[in-house]
Amino acid sequence: MDNSVRKEQILIVDDTPDTLEVLQRNLTSKGYRTFIASNAAEAIHILETTPMDLIITDFKMPGVSGLDLIRHVRENFKNTEVMMITGYPSVEGAVEAVKKGAEEYLVKPFTDEELFTAVGRTLDKLRLRRIAKAPPSGGAYAPYGLIGDSEAMARVRDSIAKVASTSATVLIAGESGTGKELVARAIHYNSPRASAPFVPVNCGAIPNELLESELFGHIKGAFTGATETRAGFFQTADGGSIFLDEISETSLSMQVKLLRVLQEKEVCMVGSSRPRKVDVRVLVSTNKDLLQLVKKGAFREDLFFRINVITIELPPLRERENDILLLIRHFATKFAEESGKSPLQFSEEALQILQHYHWPGNIRELENVIQRLVLMTEGDLIAVPDLPSLMRFSALRETGLNRTLAEVEADYIRNVLASVDGNKTRAAQILGIDRKTLREKLQKPQKSF
Ligand SMILES: Nc1ncnc2c1ncn2[C@@H]1O[C@H](COP(=O)(O)OP(=O)(O)OP(=O)(O)O)[C@@H](O)[C@H]1O
Ligand SMILES: [Mg+2]
């Protein structure tokens, strides 16, 4: 994840000036806003005036101890996480700290990496908790209808703002479902052409032999069945913008014609040799790597260079974990409102699974999943068993090392049973237990899977 836009506020409490200095320098370099206090009283004083996301406190300090500070923070500042550092590693100390509400526990000496990981993890938990608890009604900051406060989305918005006022051709690249069409619309509707049509054309959905007449129109008698002269999408979009979606799906011969339109700003209707001027801004999308296609000879290099003047890259959703949470909230609110249901809440564990799922279908997939959850879930809390099994399964595999012995055992038994087509006698033999024990194990309530 990118570090340059962090603005979380961290208060560091330690009675050793050197430690304070090193921690402050390191965390500031990662973009956090840092504050320091050399004892608990000072820390509490700062907390009273400045909201903190995280407090990192030493364990042993003169006067009020780190543990007491943790308890005080837990009781009075619900929106602040606590992390404990100490030079006196003891199991009791760790247990105490965690019981009093410290999320993390770091033993000196620790590396910078260990510090960053622990801080990142603690703040992630805080974010999840806030989102799980936040009132679901939207209010997300979403210029152009684009939800997301990641650095990547900020860059996308920036590009939209820059190119909207021009008539430049823009190539919008990204995996399926990342929001390419949404960006194209945003460009058009924020351009001086906004009151003229925005015409999306899915190049992949129109057979290549029909595409030319669909795009440029045809004159009467141009081909069998052309009983009327008909305008194409370019004429429809005159004065506005055309969105050539999935441009890589066009044939090489079509690409020659598109290049000509871009260069000459005129189209020839099928069956006519007279070029007609059109004033159309061209927006293009691809979910394939066009440069790769150029190298393979599947996409014309000259057209590639002509459309690759300004490119807006939409990163896959899995690379923007925070945006996932914002989008979940956005769609949960939207679909609940639409179906007249009360707003949904998500358990922290469910949010964690959704956040770490790899979302191959990106935002479109997330939108569909949330819609299904809103419609199918009774009650207003989404917990882990409500999630699609595919997600629970991949979460289970990813966190394989966190599973309890009982879960691993249950899983293993199920695999063995499946491998012998459910034959319990065979399974018991393989597992080295008798049938009665196997039966008992199978009857035990198991965690949902
Ligand atoms: N940043 C975002 N904020 C809110 N909604 C979004 C965002 N990005 C995409 N969406 C929504 O996700 C869905 C898919 O977006 P869109 O159709 O623009 O993606 P696409 O990249 O064109 O997908 P495909 O390659 O499948 O055509 C749409 O419903 C869109 O409104
Ligand atoms: Mg699309």
96, part of any domain: yes
- 128 & 161 share domain: no
Answer yes or no: is pLDDT of 284 > 90: yes
**Assigned domain for 3 exists:** no
115 plus 70 within the same structural domain: yes
Give tens-digit pLDDT for 355-409.
Answer: 989 999 999 999 999 999 998 888 889 998 899 888 877 665 554 445 567 777 8
Residue among 363, 368, 370 to mutate when testing ligand 1 (max atoms within 8 A of CB): 363
The Cα angle at residue 325 between residues 164 and 328, in degrees rounded to 5 = 85
One domain, residues 128 and 160: no
CA distances, 367 to each of 295, 360, 364 (Å): 35, 13, 5
Q: By residue range, what is the domain housing residue 421?
A: 403-443
pTM of the model: 0.65
| Least trusted range by pLDDT, from 65-69, 115-119, 317-321 | 65-69
Residue 178 in contact with ligand 1 by CB distance below 6 A: yes
**Residue from 4, 5, 32, 15 nearest 115 by CA:** 32
- Average pLDDT of the segment spanning 296-302: 96
Is any atom of ligand 1 closer than 6 Å to the C-beta of 187?
Answer: no
Q: How far is CA 273 from the centre of its chain?
A: 49
Q: Looking at the CA of 146, name the nearest ligand.
A: 1
Q: Of 304-308, 410-414, 441-445, which one has max mean pLDDT?
A: 304-308
Indicate whether 345 belongs to any domain: yes
**Sheet order of strands, 81-86 included:** 33-37, 9-13, 54-58, 81-86, 104-107
CA angle at residue 300 from 299 to 305, to 5 degrees? 110
Atom 30, ligand 1: residue with shortest CA distance: 179
Residues 41 and 172 in one domain: no
Q: Would 108 be classed as within a structural domain?
A: yes
User: Which of 314, 346, 368 corresponds to the end of one domain?
Assistant: 314
Question: What percentage of the chain reaches a pLDDT higher than 90?
Answer: 50
Of all protein residues, the one whose alpha carbon is nearest to atom 9 of ligand 1 is 179
Task: Establish if 423 belongs to a structural domain.
Answer: yes
Residues 275 and 346 in one domain: no
Strands 9-13 and 345-346, bridge-based pairing: unpaired
Instruction: For a ligand 1 pocket test, name from 318, 362, 364, 369 the mutation site with the most ligand atoms within 8 angstroms of its C-beta.
Output: 364
- Among residues 133, 159, 174, the one where a domain terminates is 133
* pLDDT of 2 over the 70 cut: no
Shared domain for 288 and 157, answered yes or no, is yes
Query: What is the distance between the alpha carbons of residues 212 and 232, in angstroms, rounded to a whole number?
Result: 9
Binned at pLDDT 50, 70 and 90, residue 322 comes out as confident
- Mean pLDDT of all residues in 26-37: 92
At residue 427 the predicted structure's pLDDT band, cuts being 50, 70 and 90, is confident
Ligand 1 binding pocket mutation candidate from 159, 172, 181 (most atoms within 8 A of CB): 181
Residues present in the chain in total: 449
Q: Are residues 161 and 219 in the same domain?
A: yes
Lowest mean pLDDT among 170-174, 197-201, 265-269, 375-379: 375-379
Residue 224 falls inside a structural domain: yes
Measured in degrees and rounded to the nearest 5, phi and psi for residue 16 equal -100, 115
Amino acid 8: pLDDT: 86
Please report the pLDDT score of residue 21 as a whole number: 93
From the CB of 268, is ligand 1 less than 6 Å away? no
Report which secondary-structure segment, H or E, holds 362: helix 362-376
Q: Are residues 240 and 275 in the same domain?
A: yes
- pLDDT, average across residues 126-133: 69
My answer on whether 110 and 53 are in the same domain is yes
From the CA of 172, give the closest atom in ligand 1. Answer: 21
Separation of alpha carbons 223 and 218, rounded Å: 9
Specify the residue with its C-alpha closest to ligand 1, atom 15.
179
Q: Whose CA is nearest to atom 23 of ligand 1?
A: 177
Give, in order, the Cα–Cα distances in Å from 380 to each of 332, 333, 354, 391: 11, 12, 17, 20
315 CB within 6 A, ligand 1: no
Confidence of residue 131 (pLDDT cuts 50, 70, 90): low
Token readout for 299 is: 């996409």
Same-domain status, 281 and 373: no
Total number of domains constituting the chain: 4
- End position of a domain, from candidates 284, 314, 344: 314
CATH number at residue 421: 1.10.10.60
pLDDT band of residue 135 (cuts 50, 70, 90) is: very low
Q: What is the CATH number of the domain that holds 365?
A: 1.10.8.60
Task: Read off the pLDDT of each residue in 275-284 and give the average, rounded to a whole number.
Answer: 96
pLDDT > 70 fraction of the chain, expressed in percent and rounded: 90
Specify whether the CB–CB gap between 286 and 173 falls below 8 A: yes
| Ligand 1 centroid, distance to 182 Cα (angstroms) | 6
Mean pLDDT of the chain: 86
Among protein residues, the one with the nearest Cα to ligand 1's atom 8 is 179
pLDDT of residue 276: 93
Residue 2 within a domain: no
- Pick from 133, 146, 246: which is nearest to 186 by CA? 146
Tell whether 163 and 272 lie within a shared domain.
Answer: yes
Domain-located, residue 449:
no
Same domain, 17 and 127: yes
- For residue 382, the cross-strand partners are 346
Q: What is the pLDDT of residue 378?
A: 84
Average pLDDT estimate for 412-441: 84
Spell out the residues 6+ positions from residue 112 whose beta carbon is closer than 8 angstroms to its own.
26
**Per-residue pLDDT at 231 exceeds 70:** yes
Q: pLDDT for 163-194, tens place per residue?
A: 999 999 999 999 999 999 999 999 999 999 98
